[in-house]
Every structure is written in structure tokens, then in C-alpha cells.
């Protein structure tokens, strides 16, 4: 028995060592640096306590990045889930060429976010305005990504376009766990399609709804590649996400320690949101 346990301990060693060295240790270092004034390249730095954190709360760029990221994440999460649930329901119905359509709807998920962003960047500047002009709207006839007020909608649009793929597949696998005889029974009882959805389908896929909401929210809150490819944070700082601010400030702006403090706050925010979401949505699951 003791020898068996020993083998199990040995099995954990490669992963534990690598994980501690390249994940936990740098994360702790990040927390440590957040209490210093290091610019990232010099040899000398001082311990300055909570000063970085104090200044973060007065930094309009930080507030701006959090504002954009939240606005974007909430809108993207809602639309991704709404649309992918609709598509999954459609793909689960008795339709022709179902496997072909499943393959097409999953396609965006295998493409690089950066390149998808570049393609849409072109579409926003050269193709969509042609349609916008036809519709006779001045806003739509311009490049929406260059518009300080609406650029975030353009970024959200692309995030939804690509994010739908993965969530659709998750919802589809959820729908397939529902036994069909439940529907037969509800048909006999004369339930309408609408009632069927709210009373059977939706409660049955509740755990998938939870996973999808949490994943979509978390991914949107961490958006980076898409920002680089579409707007690079602009126009002005209208679409600068939190990760983009940490990257540019930390590597190019000499704000290594300051942005480390920002990362710590960012971590706390994401962890809190994920926990609240899971708690809230899981309570819904059990109530049904």
C-alpha cells in the first residue's frame, strides 16, 4: 500500500514542479513587484508599499480600460449565449445536412483570433461601409472602428462572430443529453413549443448554461488579440482592454511594477466575478 502511494506521489512531480516554477512562482513575483517601483529594466528599485494601488484608483486610463472591458464583456457574453443557444436548438432539430452545418458553425473556433481580427478589420474599413452607404446612414457609411463612440460595438461584433462557435457546440452537447421521451410526454399533454422550451429544455441544460456564461465572460474579460488586430486600443483609448493596457504599459511604457499592481486587481476582479456567476447560476440550477 505504501509503495503504491509512493508511485502516485512520483507521478505528480513533473506537473507540480513545472506548474510551481512557471505559474505560481511568477504569479507571486508579480504580487511582490506590485509593491515596488521597478520600471522593468533597471537594476534598482524600492519597496513602496501600496502606492501603486493608490495611484491606480486615480488613473483615468485604468478606469477607462475597466469601463470598456466590462461593457464589451457583458454585451459579448449575452449575445454569444443567446445566438449560440438559438443555433444549437436549430442544429438539434430535424434538419437536412445536419453534420455539414455543425461543421460550418464550428469553423470559426479553429481560426486564429488575430487573423480573424485582421480580416474583419478590412471588412469594417472597405466592405461594410458600402452597405452602410446604401442604407443611407452616415455612421454606417464610415469605418465603425474609427468612431470613438461605436468602435466597441465593432469589436463586440467580431468577438461574438467567433465566440458563438464554441458555445454552440457546448449547448448542442447539452441538448443531446435530454432524453427524447420527455418531449413525447409533453406533446401528449398538449404543451406549446414555448412552454416546452422554458419548462423542459432550458432547465435540463442549466449546467451548460452556467459553463457557457462563465467561459464567455472570462474569455471576454481577457480580450487581447482581437484588440491588437482590430483597433490597437483606439481611437484614442476607446477600445483599450485591461490586458492591452497591462501589456503596453508594462512592456513599452516602463510601468512594470505599476501594471503588476493592475494585474493583481484584475485577478481579484475576475476571480470574484467567476465565483459570483457560478454561485448565482448554480443556485438557479438546483431550483429548477
Partner 1 sequence: MKVRGKTNWTVTIFIALGTLFILFPLYMAITISLKNQQDMLTSVFGLPTHWRFENFTEAIRMTNFFRAFGNSAFVTLATAVLTLLTNSLVAYAIARNMNHKFFKGLYFYFISAMFIPFPIIMLPIVKLTSAMGMTNLVGLTILHTVYGLAFNVFVYVGYIRSIPTALEEAARVDGASTWGTFWRIIFPLMMPINATVGILICLSTYNDFLLPLVIISDQSMYTLPLVQYIFQGQFNTEFNLAFASYLLAMLPMILVYVFAQKWIINGVTQGAVK
Site for partner 1 in 18-77 (CB under 8 A): 18-19, 22-23, 25-27, 29-31, 33, 40
Q: Which of 66, 79, 105, 152 binds partner 1 (CB under 8 A)?
A: 105
For residue 109, state whether it binds partner 1 (rule: CB under 8 A).
yes
Q: Which of 75, 76, 91, 217 binds partner 1 (CB under 8 A)?
A: 91
- Name the 3-class secondary structure at 36: strand
Size of the site for partner 1 (CB under 8 A): 92
C-alpha cell at 45: 528599485
Give buried/exposed letters for 52-65 (b at 16+ CB in 10 A, else e): beeebeeeebbebb
Site for partner 1 in 212-231 (CB under 8 A): 218, 221-222, 224-225, 228-229
Q: Within the chain, where are the H helices?
A: 2-19, 25-33, 51-56, 60-92, 98-106, 113-122, 128-135, 138-141, 151-175, 181-188, 193-196, 202-204, 206-221, 225-230, 242-247, 256-287
User: Pattern 248-277, binding to partner 1, x per CB under 8 A?
Assistant: --xx----x--xx-xxx-xx--xx--x---
Instruction: Say which residues have a Cβ less than 8 Å from residue 151's Cβ, sequence separation at least 6.
Output: 144, 145, 231, 234, 235, 238, 239
Which one, 70 or 118, has the nearer CB to partner 1? 118
For residue 180, state whether it binds partner 1 (rule: CB under 8 A).
yes
Cβ 54 to partner 1, closest distance in Å? 19
246, with CB counted inside 10 A (0-12, 13-18, 19+), is buried
Which one, 91 or 145, has the nearer CB to partner 1? 91
C-alpha cell at 65: 480600460
| Binding piece for partner 1, criterion CB under 8 A, among 43-51, 55-63, 109-117, 137-145 | 109-117
| Binding piece for partner 1, criterion CB under 8 A, among 43-51, 53-61, 194-202, 247-255 | 247-255
CA–CA separation, 51 vs 56, rounded Å?
9
Which one, 28 or 149, has the nearer CB to partner 1? 28
| Binding piece for partner 1, criterion CB under 8 A, among 43-51, 71-79, 122-130, 133-141 | 122-130
158, with CB counted inside 10 A (0-12, 13-18, 19+), is buried
C-alpha cell at 160: 461574438
Cβ 36 to partner 1, closest distance in Å? 12
Which one, 22 or 149, has the nearer CB to partner 1? 22
Which one, 29 or 195, has the nearer CB to partner 1? 29
Cβ 136 to partner 1, closest distance in Å? 19
Amino acid at each position: 500500500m505504501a509503495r503504491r502511494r509512493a508511485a502516485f506521489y512520483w507521478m505528480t512531480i513533473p506537473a507540480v514542479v513545472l506548474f510551481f516554477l512557471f505559474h505560481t512562482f511568477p504569479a507571486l513575483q508579480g504580487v511582490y513587484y506590485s509593491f515596488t517601483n521597478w520600471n522593468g529594466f533597471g537594476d534598482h528599485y524600492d519597496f513602496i508599499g501600496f502606492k501603486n494601488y493608490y495611484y491606480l484608483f486615480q488613473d483615468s486610463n485604468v478606469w477607462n480600460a475597466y469601463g470598456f472591458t466590462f461593457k464589451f464583456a457583458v454585451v459579448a457574453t449575452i449575445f454569444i449565449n443567446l445566438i449560440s443557444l438559438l443555433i444549437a436548438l436549430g442544429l438539434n432539430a430535424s434538419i437536412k445536412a445536419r453534420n455539414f452545418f455543425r461543421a460550418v458553425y464550428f469553423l470559426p473556433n479553429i481560426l486564429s483570433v488575430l487573423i480573424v481580427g485582421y480580416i474583419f478589420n478590412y471588412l469594417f474599413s472597405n466592405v461594410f461601409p458600402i452597405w452602410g452607404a446604401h442604407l443611407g446612414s452616415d455612421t454606417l457609411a464610415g469605418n465603425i472602428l474609427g468612431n470613438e463612440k461605436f468602435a466597441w460595438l465593432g469589436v463586440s461584433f467580431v468577438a461574438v462572430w467567433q465566440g458563438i462557435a464554441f458555445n454552440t457546440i457546448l449547448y448542442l452537447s447539452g441538448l443531446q443529453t435530454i432524453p427524447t421521451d420527455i418531449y413525447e410526454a409533453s406533446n401528449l399533454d398538449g404543451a406549446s413549443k414555448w412552454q416546452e422550451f422554458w419548462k423542459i429544455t432550458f432547465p435540463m441544460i442549466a449546467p451548460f448554461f452556467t459553463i457557457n456564461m462563465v467561459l464567455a465572460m472570462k474569455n471576454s474579460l481577457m480580450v487581447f488579440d482581437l484588440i491588437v488586430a482590430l483597433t490597437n486600443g483606439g481611437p484614442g483609448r476607446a477600445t483599450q482592454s485591461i490586458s492591452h493596457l497591462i501589456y503596453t504599459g508594462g512592456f513599452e511604457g516602463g510601468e512594470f511594477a505599476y501594471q503588476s499592481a493592475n494585474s493583481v486587481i484584475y485577478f481579484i476582479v475576475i476571480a470574484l466575478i467567476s465565483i459570483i456567476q457560478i454561485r448565482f447560476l448554480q443556485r438557479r440550477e438546483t431550483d429548477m
